[in-house]
Amino acid sequence: MSASREKKVRQERGADYVSPKQQKELEERKSTRRTTIIFFACVALFAAGVIAMLLYNSGAFLRSIPAARINGKSYSVSDMAYYYYNGRANILNSYEDLSSDQSLRQQDYTEGDEYATWYDLVADQSVKSLASIELAAQEAKKAGFTGGSDVDQMVKQTMDSLKANAANSGYDLGTYIKAIFGGMMTRSGFEKMLRKAALAETYIAAKSEPSLYSDAELQAVYDADPNSYSLVEYEAIIYTSSSFATEAVEATDTTEAVEADDGSAAALAAAKAALADYKAGKGLEAIASATNGTYSNNTTQYSTGSDILEWLYDGARKDGDADVLDYTFYGMSMGSVVVVFHSKERADFHTVNVRHILVDDEATANDLLAQYLAGDRTEASFAALVADNTTDTGSSENGGLYQHVYPGQMVKPFEDWCFEASRQPGDTGIVQSDYGYHVMYFVSHSDYSFWQELASSKLAKDWQTSLSDSITTELLDGMKYIDP
């Protein structure tokens, strides 16, 4: 189980009502995942007869027919095929009732009345994807941004994967590409769109770098919404209604009937009693232990829509403030919670990058650390030990790497080690948590404080939104050659 999964499990037993607002944005910012580059979902679904049909329709004239217009510029059938067949593969993977042997044009849309067929949905999404990538790529070129080795590496990895899959299927690369992206696609056309998508994705990631913005620009973002760039430390005890619930009991000759009780009133009473004990001087953790409540000591970010977070981030809040609030989970009332506020500070700390190997016992952890220390002691050699030894499926394929780790994200022993004041790149150690032993390797601190990273991500998101707002799209007659 991953360290982040461990945190999630702990939260589900405790204060799962808080979730970091920008976590996903920060993970995506550095990952430069190829979100629009290539999907292989339907590779195994084609047959020799289908390939023959695709080759029959692969005329150069048809490929160049305009299939879409974006901000007045036309894009060919081949250009649109790149995005349409990516989208088609995603839809087929997501909906088991759809048939991969039939055009989406012949399959009625079943998720509402916005579209007539699944083809209409995918075509609409595809032209929007093409538009966003095209505009980002254009902006990159205007800025003189090439992406350098990052773009080259993304293209190479995708092409190598395609070549390997083509060889395993017994086809040459050109035929394989046509089988996935339709008869209007060629290898050169695919590589052109792939490189453009890689450039756009790399530029979008680069736009989130704090180094692109002045201190004044970042400060202005913070000043406009300080809560979103601050962290709160607090304690809580949760009393779930289900732990107090009782079932209905029918009357007998000697007993009266008992109505079912969902436990909400009892949970609220328990929380109020706990609050009174806290105000009388008792510690919250001790109170929780004595009353079967679930105790947590957390650091959290601000997010709208949560009564608890709104209470914690109230500007008048001071250390020791406490109250009883409704405990909700995904909008549902689940009981009552005692919340104690301790502090709110701007997130001036620097996030960290770290690798780890999760194992079940201390002996195995010591053995793996000894193996690493006996070698060349590089980050690459540590990463090489991960795949065959870790039980953390969330990081087993990337050398155990977790990037932009911030307080409150991982389990406490893991975080305590990462954020120790003396921590330096290359440090190693062993940490025990509730789910096993972590062999640790510290990679680095980020160059900028957490709030600056969040602020630059906000500026990058605003930039993308401004690009999207300027887009006008239109599907043209050439679309009839796609998924006919």
Instruction: Indicate if the pLDDT at residue 61 is higher than 80.
Output: no
Q: Which residue has the higher pLDDT, 332 or 49?
A: 332
Q: Nearest CA to 7 among 361, 231, 241, 296?
A: 296
SS (H, E, C) 11-47: HHHCCCCCCCCCHHHHHHHHHCCCCCCCCCCCHHHCC
Q: What confidence score (pLDDT) does residue 159 get?
A: 93
Out of 253-262, 293-302, 316-325, which region has the weakest mean confidence (pLDDT)? 253-262
Average of pLDDT values for 448-460? 94
Q: What confidence score (pLDDT) does residue 210 get?
A: 94
Average of pLDDT values for 458-479? 93
Residue 342 DSSP symbol: E
With beta carbons less than 8 A apart as the criterion, state whether 27 and 404 touch.
Answer: yes
Residue-averaged pLDDT of the chain: 87
pLDDT (tens digit per residue) in 364-402: 999 999 999 999 999 999 999 999 999 998 898 899 999
Please enumerate in sequence order all residues whose Cβ is within 8 A of that of 300, keeping only pairs 6 or more positions apart, or say none: 15, 18, 20, 231, 232, 234, 309, 312, 408
The values of phi and psi at residue 70, to 5°, are -125, 120
List the Cα angle 348/349/352 in 5-degree steps. 145
Instruction: Indicate if the pLDDT at residue 31 is higher than 60.
Output: no
Beta strand 294-301 with 322-329 is unpaired
What does the block give as tokens for 426?
């290359």
Confidence grade of residue 183 (pLDDT, cut at 50, 70, 90): confident
Per DSSP, what are the bridge partners of residue 232?
300, 344
Q: What confidence score (pLDDT) does residue 22 get?
A: 46
Residue 275's H or E segment, with its range, is helix 264-279
Give me the residue spans of the domains in the chain.
Answer: 13-22+227-346, 32-206, 349-452
Identity of the amino acid at 107: Q
Q: What confidence score (pLDDT) does residue 24 get?
A: 46
- What is the share, in percent, of the chain residues with pLDDT greater than 70? 88
- What is the share, in percent, of the chain residues with pLDDT greater than 90? 74
**pTM for this predicted structure:** 0.69
Average of pLDDT values for 11-32? 43
List the Cα angle 413/418/423 in 5-degree steps. 130
Q: Nearest CA to 298 among 385, 196, 407?
A: 407
Q: Nearest CA to 416 among 15, 2, 102, 3?
A: 3
Confidence grade of residue 104 (pLDDT, cut at 50, 70, 90): very high
Confidence grade of residue 59 (pLDDT, cut at 50, 70, 90): low
How many Å apart are CA 221 and CA 119, to the nearest integer? 41
- Backbone conformation region of residue 239, classed left if phi is above 0, alpha if psi is from -120 to 50, else beta: beta
For the domain with range 349-452, which CATH number is right: 3.40.630.30, 1.20.1090.10, 3.10.50.40, 1.10.1530.10? 3.10.50.40
CB neighbours (10 Å) of residue 305?
A: 8
DSSP states along 390-401: ---TTTTTTTTE
What does the block give as tokens for 193?
């769109």
DSSP states along 104-168: GGGSB--S-SS-SBHHHHHHHHHHHHHHHHHHHHHHHHHTT---HHHHHHHHHHHHHHHHHHHHH
Instruction: Indicate if the pLDDT at residue 248 is higher than 60.
Output: yes
Q: What confidence score (pLDDT) does residue 298 get?
A: 86
How many Å apart are CA 101 and CA 79, to the nearest integer? 23
With beta carbons less than 8 A apart as the criterion, state whether 236 and 340 touch.
Answer: yes
Q: What confidence score (pLDDT) does residue 258 get?
A: 74
Confidence grade of residue 250 (pLDDT, cut at 50, 70, 90): confident
Confidence grade of residue 34 (pLDDT, cut at 50, 70, 90): very low
Residue 52 CA from chain centroid, whole number: 40
